[in-house]
Amino acid sequence: MGATKTDAGRLPPSADATTGAIDAALLSVARIMTQVRVHAKLRARAGVDIDRAGAAVLFKLLVEPDSPRLCDLAERLGIDSPAVTRKVQQLEQLGLVVRVADPEDGRASRLHLTREGKRSIERLLAARRLWLEERLAEWPTADRAEFARLLQLFASTIDPDTDMRHGH
């Protein structure tokens, strides 16, 4: 059951403190996880030279069930098409992405990871998982499992594209 609002339209003080603590922790995690120096360490450990924007494109191509068009990829990443076009061109030059003619629309092309692109993003993801393992190494197994469960629940709750809200 969710928190109820007071007459002033604010959450009760206990909920404010809890929500504030969650918000502060999320801001801290987001700041750390997006730091250039953290990404540089992960790149070095993975032995790949992919910037954060390139990694986002490669990751999206890895997890998408279909091969998206540029405009679809831009929408899914939440950035403008010209920025995605420039990044895809860079990734093509590196041999990490290829464009293939769209069988349904000859004027359009679909994006695919190359074998090297897939290998590169998988290495970067493995480096990231190792980095997380190192940070969580001293946590009890039960705490790690509960953290994973709650974080997955939170992710599904805030994801506007999913209907999986609290198991529904």
pLDDT at 35 (0 to 100):
87
- pTM for the whole thing? 0.77
Sketch the domain layout of the chain as residue ranges: 15-42+120-158, 50-114
DSSP string covering 68-119? --HHHHHHHHTS-HHHHHHHHHHHHHTTSEEEEEETTEEEEEEEEE-HHHHH
Q: Quick one: pLDDT at residue 163?
A: 45
CATH topology of domain 50-114: Arc Repressor Mutant, subunit A (1.10.10)
Query: Which pLDDT belongs to residue 122?
Result: 97
Residue 102 · residue 109 · CB < 8 Å = yes
Spatial separation of the C-alpha atoms in residues 60 and 75, rounded to whole Å: 11
Q: State the Cα–Cα distance between residues 137 and 47, nearest whole angstrom.
A: 23
Task: Say how many CA atoms lie within 13 Å of 58 toward its Cβ.
Answer: 27
pLDDT, residue 9, reads 60
**Blockwise average pLDDT, block size 10, the chain, 168 residues:** 53 73 91 89 94 94 89 89 92 95 84 96 96 96 96 88 44
